[in-house]
Amino acid sequence: MKKILIYASMLAISTLVSANDDVVTESSPSVVSANDDVATESSPSVNNPYNAIWLAGSWGVTQRVDGGYKLDASADSSNWVEGAKEIVANIPSAGHVITSFTHPAHAYLFTLRENNNVDVAAIHPDMVPTLENEQIILDVIKVYRDAGKKVILYLNTAGPSMASDRGDPEIKKAWKAYYNSEWNGDEAAAWRYLVQGYAERFNGLVDGYWLDNVSNLPGELSDFMMMLRSVDPTLAIAVNKGKAYFSDESDSYLYVDSDGINDENEADYKIIKHVPTNEYTDFTAGHITPLGKGAPPNSWGYEEKTIPDMVERPWGSYDESTYALKHGWFPIRETWSVARSDLVFEVEQAYRFTRTITDGGAAMTWSTTQDNGYMSADEMKIMVEIERRISQTPMEDYQPYERPEGAYLLSETE
């Protein structure tokens, strides 16, 4: 099944549509085997659609690993390696996992200590874990690689200057002193050099990156991408920059006014559209409509708009010359990474999301949370049931989508 989807993906690239889904481009690359070496005349910072072919039709989960001093603080009470082994044992059909280059939402806390270019501990010791604890992420990756799963690393690109905003002003102060003294004030170059040193250590161990907080990246995104691709041009990279939303025939945004008869949130929210929003991304970041805007992770708007668009045309174009696979990253709880928050999905809808997206040749990842290094038990229960159904021959049918009672768009009330 996976080989069929890969072949179909290569055929899809050859007749790819532009981001507005109206213009068919004839300038798409010729179809090649997924195992062939792909030559490109474009800049190494520009994406290569073949990099993400392995992701087509894949579903995955998330296992966040702490970084820096936070990893040292949690290492004795958490066991991420055993948590990874549990994921491998319980959900073998999951083709990929997103884990950590940096601590979630902390661009200055790294899962590795030793860096090929920089003595990061000398900048500030809290930025890195102990040498013993850096082995955790390496062992976690090895568990997944040995099981044949692809590994994508979450990398917050904002750099250590964000440390003050996260309650670590001394790290920002130390970072500023470092790039002023060693890089003549060129923070962007210093940041790229540091990240490169870690990317080189991960080289050959991971298959892609998910770049976050790009709007606060020091320097130019093109330079940052060129640095990453100089380490490995075959990496599949998602760049979380910009968002697209669905609109009506008059180009006015569609808003969900009600999620159902029990909806107590008065906020109206736009419906995310997973299309390429920049020229660098190999697969879409898949960030949903921001939770703070009132959009639940399992919005019926995604089932009526977002997902059908993903499966109708799994590959999209930003500018009719670069191409990316449509991928969605869905929180399974009310928050992205807090295990104590309320669970939003139940089995039937979670299975329908997974099957609909992957059957159509697009990709999706569950933003699952951790409890002492293990996937939260209630989430694992859902994943195991998805695994049971998806591994049957033929696969068990999912319940068809029906709009919730009392759910409607703002335009449907006018």
Q: What percent of the chain has pLDDT over 70?
A: 88
pLDDT band at 274 (very low <50, low <70, confident <90, very high): very high
Question: Which among 93, 100, 95, 53 has a CA at the least distance from the CA of 74?
Answer: 100
CATH hierarchy code of domain 2-412? 3.20.20
Give the pairing type, strands 96-100 and 59-62. parallel
**pLDDT tens-digit profile of 16-50?**
543 344 332 323 332 223 333 333 334 556 677 68
Can you read off the two tokens belonging to residue 289?
């409509």
Which helix (H) or strand (E) is 154 found in, with range?
A: strand 150-156
Q: Would the pLDDT of 100 be above 80?
A: yes
Can you read off the two tokens belonging to residue 320?
């009719």
Domain locations along the chain: 2-412
* pLDDT value, residue 284: 98
Average pLDDT, the chain: 91
Mean pLDDT across 110-120: 98
Name the more confident of 2 and 105.
Answer: 105
Give the pairing type, strands 59-62 and 363-367. parallel
User: Is the distance from CB of 113 to CB of 128 less than 8 angstroms?
Assistant: yes
Q: Would the pLDDT of 125 be above 90?
A: yes
C-alpha angle 304/310/313, rounded to 5°?
125
**pLDDT tens-digit profile of 287-332?**
999 999 999 999 999 999 999 999 999 999 998 878 899 999 999 9
Three state DSSP letters for 80-117: HHHHHHHHHHHCCCCCEEEEECEECCEEEEECCCCCCC
**pLDDT tens-digit profile of 132-160?**
999 999 999 999 999 999 999 999 999 99
